[in-house]
Structure 1
Amino acid sequence: MTKVHRSLLLLCALGLSSVQAQQERTQITLDSVAHEAQALIEQPPRQPEALAENLQSLSYDQYRDIRFRPSEALWWNADSKFRVEFFHPGHLFQDQVEIFEASDTHVQEIPFLKNAFDYGNSGYDPGFFKKPKAYSGIRVKYPVNNQDVYDELIVFLGGSYFRAIGAGHNFGLSLRGLAMNTIGEQEDFPRFTKLWLKKPEANSNQLTLFALLEGEKVTGAYRFDVRSQGVTQIDVHTRLFFRAGGAAEVGIAPLTSMFVHGENSNNPNLTDWRPEVHDSDGMLVHANNEWHWFPLENLPGRTIQRLPTAKLRGFGLLQRDRDFKNYKDLEANYQRRPSAWIEPIGKWSTGEIVLYTFGTDTEATDNVTAFWKPDIDANTQDRTEFSYRITLQTKDPAHELAKVLETRVGQRTLDSNASTVIIEFSRPESIGLDEIDRLSVGFEYGGAQAIEAPIIQYNEPEDRIRVFANFKTPQEHPQESPYRMSAQLLREGHQVSERWNYIWKH
């Protein structure tokens, strides 16, 4: 602990700061944070305090040159498997977040300390009057892969964004506390303005933290229980309070990812040397007693897909393709990006899963968002509660159906006026080789014209079941799109595969 830390703690212990002294005697719970969120909803939205200009204007490289000193980490010398490091405000990360350490009986604010950073060649001079009032986020370290190495387990930085990994992962897709008006004209990005870190017990593999969320039309209280045991699980409990019209814009458990191109991309202008570039390659949904797979695609403009859910069991953005040869990128290692699976805790109402994508030509842009939109009164201002579990893992959620492994679309062989789609399903043990000829496929072309009935083939080299379909764009409306297609393998009329859902544009 630095001399500055010790001095601040001593001041609080002597009662020289009545606010901090009161905080020390406070127990932080979801109820106490919700009480603060409810009080804020009665007031106009608070705007973040602007940073000094020399912090706002930092370039990416300059910002990277401001490095946190590991010896200043919270719990660095404590009997805990967790360590917490802090991010300096600046560049794109201009929101300042009040951060506290909490026990079962006490709370202590963690002040901003410029001595916790090495400013290197950043060009930023942390003068007394120019320094920020708070950090911009946190990085939690934990021995995820090796007991002797502290990996970045979970990071909270920017708005309500956070990212996490499990064993063997590189950071990939992002998680968010809340989505607001994502598919509207102007998206709102609520932000976490306070974080409370509860000190874990010795040798515990769980970290609990609380967060206060503030936005233009919403405030909220969050509790996160983070556990790392090979896979990483995060239990989220939230209470939300809306201003007028806010409930109409809300998206619960949002996931944000990137997809530039994959095996299904049909872009003649593609010049990337890598076969595929994406953090996730599809969205999986378990709802209404079915499993649905939505392959991702990088289509021009905005594309919105909706799946009404009477009984949602789970949804997530997955990286199913784990084969390095399909990426060839030794730095990005896209095959190691985590899949994120959301499972409701308790009973959720009816609603719909929304998958929103927009076109991009760079992997630096997250162009995929998935969330659950509940059926609630658009003008409700009552407290609304949700609980769910996020699992970061490599394997898919378990089920016994045939899975969609690949989607390929292109021009039909020797026919420039038609297109071909190939869907590769896994062959589960429940489908014997002698049964493949007896399978049928329910195929919907979404307005496109089928040339003939789709064909089912056994892909012996890869032990897969292939569906092969040819179609044409209606000549009277050649540019009418998108075409919303779906397909599912059937055995005697019963579903034996995930339902494939695809958007195709001419």
Structure 2
Amino acid sequence: MHVVQGETAREIVYDPRYFTISADHPAAALPPEPSAFAGLWLQEAKSGPWKTQEPWATWLGASYFRGVGELGQVGLSARGLALSPGQAPGPEEFPDFVGFWIAPAENESDPVTLYALMDSPSLSGAYRFLCRRTSGVVMDIEATLHFRRRVTHVGIAPLTSMYWYSETASSRTIDWRPEVHDSDGLAIWTGSGERIWRPLNNPPRTMTSSFVDEKPRGFGLLQRDREFLHYLDGVKYEKRPSAWVEPQGDWGRGAVQLVELNTD
């Protein structure tokens, strides 16, 4: 973990005194080397109620990251990259962000800049995130990837969410809640301008749906149902954010793929 100041970077050395950790907690035994930081949060300004609010952006675990939505909730996550997701017979490979460099915003209107180093057996990568706290969170992301070996299936700008059941696919189990999901559908804005909406399912086995396209204008996992009575759950599914990706430049020909895993 590093902080960027001008043209230099200074390492933030791990110290357990930064955290409130009980003596019997496993984290209390973490060594300082290699760095015991699991990831990082971006919090609201210290002049506000930042201690009682969700972080507005988080990078935590593998290459997962997420931002808070307009309604003040977190939900689905994005990933830096997906390698062979849902592609039998081999296992999926999960690259890690192994280093971070944080450049704080100089002014309130400027973005927070985060640089991240990705590593995995198949590749290494350098990422730059320009993060803006708006009514939700907007990120401009650039990445450069260097492959160490041939990879047959690469997912760019992957999203990960939770779906159990909804009004379009009733629960197969006994549960008092009418719906349980962080997202209820995949939205695609194709290169030709067509708008596609694909409701999510909970299939009995892993299923992949492919939407072939060229120069896609956008895609994302959305939570469109905003009625509390449709969920009846205090975890506030009705306020979970949506994630929308707009490619920069020409992404060429490919496919938006939806990989659905069974949830019981």
Per the TM superposition, whether the score is higher than 0.5 is: yes
Q: Is the 8 A contact 2:70 2:241 kept in 1?
A: no
Aligned to 1:210, which of 106, 110, 115? Answer: 115
Q: Paired residue for 1:222? A: 127
Q: What code does the residue aligned with 2:226 have?
A: R
Q: Would you identify which runs of 4 or more consecutive aligned residues in structure 1 move more than 3 Å?
A: 121-127, 129-132
Separation (CA, whole Å) in 1 of partners of 2:138 and 2:262: 31
Unaligned runs of 5+ in 1: 1-98, 362-506
Unaligned runs of 5+ in 2: none
Deviation at 1:121, TM superposition (A): 5.5
Deviations 1:247-267 (A, max 9, x none): x22100000000001001144
Check 1:320–1:213 CA distance in 2 against 1; reply closer, same or farther (3 A cut).
Answer: same
Question: Secondary structure at the residue paired with 1:208?
Answer: strand
Q: Paired residue for 1:239? A: 144
Q: Is the 8 A contact 1:280 1:339 kept in 2?
A: yes
1:148 aligns with 2:52: no
Aligned to 2:17, which of 115, 118, 121? Answer: 115
1:175 aligns with 2:78: yes
Separation (CA, whole Å) in 1 of partners of 2:103 and 2:109: 12
Separation (CA, whole Å) in 2 of partners of 1:298 and 1:321: 17
Question: Secondary structure at the residue paired with 1:196?
Answer: strand
Q: Is the 8 A contact 1:283 1:318 kept in 2?
A: yes
Deviation at 1:328, TM superposition (A): 0.6
In the superposition, the TM-score normalised over structure 1's length comes to: 0.49
Separation (CA, whole Å) in 2 of partners of 1:205 and 1:333: 31
In the TM superposition, what are the counterparts of 1:46-125 in structure 2 within 5 Å?
99-120=1-22, 122-124=24-26
Separation (CA, whole Å) in 1 of partners of 2:94 and 2:177: 33
Aligned to 2:158, which of 254, 267, 270? Answer: 254
Deviations 1:455-483 (A, max 9, x none): xxxxxxxxxxxxxxxxxxxxxxxxxxxxx
Deviations 1:182-222 (A, max 9, x none): 12230000000110001221434520010110112111110
Separation (CA, whole Å) in 2 of partners of 1:342 and 1:283: 11
Check 1:309–1:147 CA distance in 2 against 1; reply closer, same or farther (3 A cut).
Answer: farther
Q: Is the 8 A contact 1:282 1:319 kept in 2?
A: yes
Separation (CA, whole Å) in 2 of partners of 1:112 and 1:147: 25
User: How many residues are aligned here?
Assistant: 257
Check 1:223–1:131 CA distance in 2 against 1; reply closer, same or farther (3 A cut).
Answer: closer
Check 1:103–1:130 CA distance in 2 against 1; reply closer, same or farther (3 A cut).
Answer: closer
Separation (CA, whole Å) in 2 of partners of 1:147 and 1:292: 43
Higher relative contact order, structure no. (Cα contacts within 8 Å, ≥ 6 residues apart): 2
Q: Is the 8 A contact 1:205 1:229 kept in 2?
A: no
Question: Once the two structures are aligned, what percentage of the paired residues are identical?
Answer: 37
Deviation at 1:148, TM superposition (A): 2.1
Deviations 1:425-444 (A, max 9, x none): xxxxxxxxxxxxxxxxxxxx
Aligned to 1:300, which of 204, 208, 227? Answer: 204
Q: What code does the residue aligned with 1:106 have?
A: T
Question: Secondary structure at the residue paired with 1:142?
Answer: coil
Question: Secondary structure at the residue paired with 1:305?
Answer: strand
Separation (CA, whole Å) in 2 of partners of 1:327 and 1:132: 45
Separation (CA, whole Å) in 2 of partners of 1:111 and 1:337: 34
Q: What code does the residue aligned with 1:227 have?
A: R
Q: Is the 8 A contact 1:209 1:224 kept in 2?
A: yes
Deviation at 1:340, TM superposition (A): 0.4
Q: What code does the residue aligned with 1:340 have?
A: A
Q: What code does the residue aligned with 1:177 have?
A: G
Separation (CA, whole Å) in 1 of partners of 2:27 and 2:39: 20
Aligned to 1:353, which of 234, 256, 264? Answer: 256
Deviations 1:96-136 (A, max 9, x none): xxx10002311100111011122226444846x94453111
Check 1:205–1:334 CA distance in 2 against 1; reply closer, same or farther (3 A cut).
Answer: farther
Alpha-carbon RMSD across the aligned residues, in angstroms, is 1.9
Deviations 1:364-410 (A, max 9, x none): xxxxxxxxxxxxxxxxxxxxxxxxxxxxxxxxxxxxxxxxxxxxxxx
Q: Is the 8 A contact 2:69 2:240 kept in 1?
A: no
Identify, as 1 or 2, the structure richer in helix. 1
Question: Secondary structure at the residue paired with 1:335?
Answer: helix
Aligned to 2:169, which of 228, 251, 265? Answer: 265
Q: Is the 8 A contact 2:186 2:220 kept in 1?
A: yes
Separation (CA, whole Å) in 2 of partners of 1:293 and 1:147: 41
Q: Is the 8 A contact 2:22 2:28 kept in 1?
A: no
Check 1:164–1:253 CA distance in 2 against 1; reply closer, same or farther (3 A cut).
Answer: same
Q: What code does the residue aligned with 1:265 have?
A: A
Separation (CA, whole Å) in 2 of partners of 1:276 and 1:316: 20
Q: Is the 8 A contact 2:67 2:136 kept in 1?
A: no
Deviation at 1:234, TM superposition (A): 0.4
1:311 aligns with 2:192: no
In the superposition, the TM-score normalised over structure 2's length comes to: 0.92
Structure number with bigger Rg? 1
